[in-house]
């Protein structure tokens, strides 16, 4: 279209982070270079249905104009026809949480043979799953807080044993849904009597729960942007306004402080950047990620907490802010994500074509 790349900007979705996604997409729409891209708004409502073109465009325009007032909308179809009619050059998914950040929208794009920005199917699923992520961190020799897991079935069958395993990590603890973001469903447990309620809350969002030891430390974040080589940004620091950095602290109360860059010495900066790139590689990430750390006040070690494969792009989000401080503006970040998406798609098409070539079969001597 007029020599521009048609970018399908997908937002909304079925997760509890629907509003954050809409606000993030509004910011992205404002930062995309309209001389290079034709932005195609593609909205998914809370039930998972796709909005028609006019509704999606209106929602995105409203989110861009008034980011503090997230508009509600309803979809009309199970799949946006523009995904299949050849009108898109690349998909830019700005979906947070399940049914978007977890490999599902990425798998849809793979099936439809559409280039898409960000991590692939496997890495998206792994980064969304705190349990799998931590197991891979340990396998790669990367430091991460101690943890235990429990399922809804285990909790129903052997609650006392589950409590004993969790409390053995020593208080305080954090109890989290294993596959959710934006601190939804997370509790800090300071007393053993609070443990069961925290688990019940987490199980309301996921049937897999992770229990982590509480680390007395600072919350440090690093943005990673793919390239040759990948770039690790200057680190930032989150200073929670609540007891911990929960959903309200992130998006509702404006109580937290975001320090960018974080007050760290040069050696600490180099170490956390090294670990961020190592974590990015360990989970097989591509495109982008925000890597979250805890800086243990007891021994000065950085502990990898989690990676977010589609980090927030709101006005207060650390990911674009840290990259901006590292010399990569918001528009350039999006340019690089789109370039990486197109390059990966072209590479995979070449590999697929090679795999489909008939194999040369030679008869073994004496065969037949």
Could you give the CA distance from residue 223 to residue 219 in angstroms, rounded to a whole number? 14
* Helix or strand holding residue 54 (H, E): helix 53-65
Chain centroid to CA 23 = 15
Query: Is 312 noted as a catalytic residue in this protein?
Result: yes
Active-site option among 89, 118, 306, 317: 306
Active-site option among 182, 183, 233, 305: 182
In our burial notation (b when 16+ CB lie closer than 10 A, e otherwise), range 313-348 reads bbeebbbbbbbbebebebeebbbbbbebbbebbeee
Could you give the CA distance from residue 34 to residue 5 in angstroms, rounded to a whole number? 10
Active-site option among 290, 321, 336, 344: 290
Active-site option among 97, 118, 236, 312: 312
Give the closest residue to 142 by CA, choosing from 133, 151, 150: 133
Strands (E), the chain: 5-12, 37-44, 90-93, 147-151, 173-177, 187-189, 208-213, 217-225, 231-232, 236-239, 257-259, 288-296, 302-308
The CB density around residue 282, as the number of other CB atoms within 10 Å, is 20
Query: Is 309 noted as a catalytic residue in this protein?
Result: no
Query: Is 87 noted as a catalytic residue in this protein?
Result: no
Q: How many CA atoms lie within 13 A of 114 on its CB side?
A: 26
Query: Is 182 noted as a catalytic residue in this protein?
Result: yes
Active-site option among 14, 16, 17, 118: 17
Query: Is 251 noted as a catalytic residue in this protein?
Result: yes
Are the C-beta atoms of residues 141 and 59 closer than 8 Å to each other? no
Residue with tokens 């020799």: 141
Are the C-beta atoms of residues 78 and 49 closer than 8 Å to each other? yes
Query: Is 116 noted as a catalytic residue in this protein?
Result: no
Q: Give the torsion through C-alpha atoms of 116, 93, 27, 65, to 10 deg.
A: 120
- Catalytically active residues, by annotation: 17, 182, 251, 290, 292, 306, 308, 312
């Amino acid at each position: 279209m007029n020599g521009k790349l048609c970018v399908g900007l997908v937002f909304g979705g079925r997760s509890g982070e629907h509003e954050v996604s809409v606000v993030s997409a509004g910011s992205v729409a404002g930062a995309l270079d309209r001389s290079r891209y034709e932005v195609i708004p593609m909205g998914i409502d809370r039930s998972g249905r796709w909005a028609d073109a006019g509704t999606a465009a209106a929602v995105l325009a409203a989110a861009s104009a008034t980011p503090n007032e997230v508009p509600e909308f309803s979809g009309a179809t199970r799949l946006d026809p523009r995904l299949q009619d050849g009108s898109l050059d690349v998909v830019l998914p700005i979906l947070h949480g399940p049914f978007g950040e977890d490999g599902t929208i990425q798998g849809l794009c793979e099936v439809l043979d559409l280039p898409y920005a960000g991590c692939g199917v496997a890495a998206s699923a792994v980064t969304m799953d705190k349990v799998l992520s931590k197991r891979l961190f340990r396998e790669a020799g990367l430091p991460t807080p101690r943890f235990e897991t429990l399922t809804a079935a285990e909790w129903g069958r052997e609650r006392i044993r589950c409590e004993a395993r969790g409390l053995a990590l020593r208080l305080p603890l954090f109890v989290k849904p294993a596959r959710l973001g934006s601190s939804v469903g997370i509790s800090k447990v300071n007393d053993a009597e609070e443990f069961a309620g925290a688990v019940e809350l987490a199980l309301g969002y996921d049937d897999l729960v992770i229990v982590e030891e509480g680390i007395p430390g600072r919350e440090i974040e690093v943005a990673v942007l793919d390239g040759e080589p990948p770039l690790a940004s200057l680190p930032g620091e989150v200073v929670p306004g609540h007891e911990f950095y929960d959903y309200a602290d992130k998006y509702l109360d404006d109580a937290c402080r975001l320090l960018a860059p974080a007050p760290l010495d040069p050696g600490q900066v180099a170490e956390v950047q090294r670990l961020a790139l190592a974590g990015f590689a360990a989970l097989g990430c591509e495109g982008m990620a925000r890597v979250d750390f805890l800086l243990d006040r007891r021994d000065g070690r950085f502990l990898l907490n989690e990676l977010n494969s589609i980090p927030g792009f709101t006005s207060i989000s650390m990911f674009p802010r840290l990259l901006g401080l590292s010399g990569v503006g918001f528009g350039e970040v999006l340019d690089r994500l789109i370039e990486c998406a197109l390059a990966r798609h072209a590479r995979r098409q070449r590999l697929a074509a090679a795999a489909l070539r008939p194999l040369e079969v030679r008869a073994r001597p004496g065969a037949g």
